Structure 1
Amino acid sequence: MNAPTVEELTLLHSHLCQALGETKRIEILYALYERPRHVSALAEDLGYPQPTISRHLKVLKQCTLVSAERDGASVIYQITDERIIEILNDMRNLLRDVIERQNRVLASEPANMEA
């Protein structure tokens, strides 16, 4: 199998970012990082309707961020690669830095100095 091209990687990158562009999906990933769960347990733990959780799990599964395994009549979902949590944590750290820089810029503006 050939290595993916830059264009293919860029497209996959875009699809992955789109999948992560929904807050509920990020919450689901963090919850599954704690432990694998059935969709009903995720819905109860996160406080969202089960159809909502199922819809978001479908997107995450299509991006191969989560996998599903049969457990009798139900399905258990789990994260496929824990590096996604590292990436999400890095993004949160970056966002904290961005907010801090923005606050410094706002604090140094002349309008704020007169107030």
Structure 2
Amino acid sequence: MPKKPRQLSDEALMMIARRFSVLSEPLRLRLIHALFEGEKNVNTLVDLTGGTQANVSRHLQTLTQAHILSRRKDGLQVFYAIADPTIFELCELVCGSLEKQFAKQAEAFER
């Protein structure tokens, strides 16, 4: 039996839409994925994601403002980490769902 959705206010729906909007950019998702193993500095994130320094910094700022990432400065280095642990669950849920979908598509294609 399907789970009954909870009632959400218009303000809550706006906040949810903003969160998904922040997560709708592929480079931001790559940055989050790169931080799953722990805190990293900007240069490492640039190397891991293949983005430019300016572009990565801009997306890190957006993720930090959305409270998805935290930022820590140590001398001239800036380090980022995942601040919202629910992002792990969200990514796992979406990735698991997409894996099932791709498997069904591959199975149908093989027929």
TM-score (norm 2): 0.80
1:95 to 92, 98, 101: 98
Shift of 1:32: 1.1
Give the 3-state SS of the residue equivalent to 1:69 in structure 2.
strand
Could you tell me how far apart the structure 2 residues matched to 1:14 and 1:82 are?
19
- Count residues with an aligned counterpart: 104
Q: Within 1, Cα distance between the matches of 2:108 and 2:35?
A: 37
Larger radius of gyration: 1
Q: CA RMSD in A?
A: 2.0
Partner of 1:37: 40
The code of the aligned residue for 2:28 comes to R
Residue 74 of structure 1 aligns to which amino acid in structure 2? Answer: Q
CA–CA separation in structure 1 for the residues paired with 2:36 and 2:29:
11
1:101 shift after superposition: 4.6
- Aligned partner of 1:59 in structure 2 is 62
User: Per-residue deviation at 1:23?
Assistant: 1.1
* TM-score, structure 1 normalization: 0.78
Greater helix share, structure number: 1
Contiguous gaps of at least 5 residues in structure 1: 109-115
- The CA distance in 2 between the partners of 1:10 and 1:105, in whole Å, is 36
Q: Once the 2 structures are TM-superposed, how far is the Cα of residue 11 of structure 1 from its aligned partner?
A: 0.7
Matches within 5 A, 1:1-115: 6-102=9-105
Percent of residue pairs bearing the same amino acid type: 27
| CA distance in structure 1 between the partners assigned to 2:39 and 2:26 by the alignment | 19
- Cα distance in 2 for partners of 1:83, 1:46 equals 22
In structure 2, stretches of 5+ residues that fail to align are 1-7
How far does residue 82 in structure 1 lie from its aligned partner after superposition? 2.1
Letter in 2 for 1:41: T
Tell me the distance in 2 between the aligned counterparts of 1:107 and 1:6: 45
